[in-house]
Amino acid sequence: MGASASADKDKGKREGEVVARVVEGEPPSGAVKVELVPDTGADRATGEVGVQAAFLPFNFNFDFTVSLASRTFWPVLGRACVSLRGTGSADPSYYQREVKVEMWDAYGTDTKKGLTARYSLNGGYYGYCWSGLSSGHEHYFRIYKDWNLGARVWGNGWTSPI
């Protein structure tokens, strides 16, 4: 099968991943803005994060070369949505690229929840919602890229219950 036939067959689907959808609107006005934290890849046990974003919604900016993690938060009714857009990069081809977002339960040993969402960096807002999260557990999301690991990428977004 040729490369184009393989791409047509894929139609944006990759095992364990989902494509984030276009989101209308912008970050909610009045929501607290929080800074994302360095992602070391280590376990982030409940209560071990210095500053917590305990309530949704919150807004954020991102600027990273490999990955960042959010502050911990409690999902509302077992649901949390992450919407974001890329606004620039040191790699001029970034607008043809994607970043990925994973949702993690920080209770005890960190556990990845649901699918990994792929977000286009073409300048529009894209979003994805995770459901089936444990309402009584702290969660966080991890945003990362797997292309040009030396190039920064930046943008903004928000996390909300819907």
Average pLDDT over residues 42-59: 64
How distant is the alpha carbon of residue 26 from its chain centre?
A: 16
**pTM of model > 0.95:** no
CATH number of 16-24+51-160: 2.60.120.380
Residue boundaries of the structural domains of the chain: 16-24+51-160
Residues 6+ apart with CB under 8 A from 57: 28, 31, 158, 159, 160, 161
Average pLDDT over residues 95-103: 97
Q: How confident is the model at residue 4 (pLDDT cuts 50, 70, 90)?
A: very low
Q: What is the pLDDT of residues 5-26, one digit of tens each?
A: 333 444 456 889 999 999 998 8
Q: What is the pLDDT of residues 77-96, one digit of tens each?
A: 999 999 999 999 999 999 99
- Give the Cα separation of 127 and 85 in Å (integer): 9
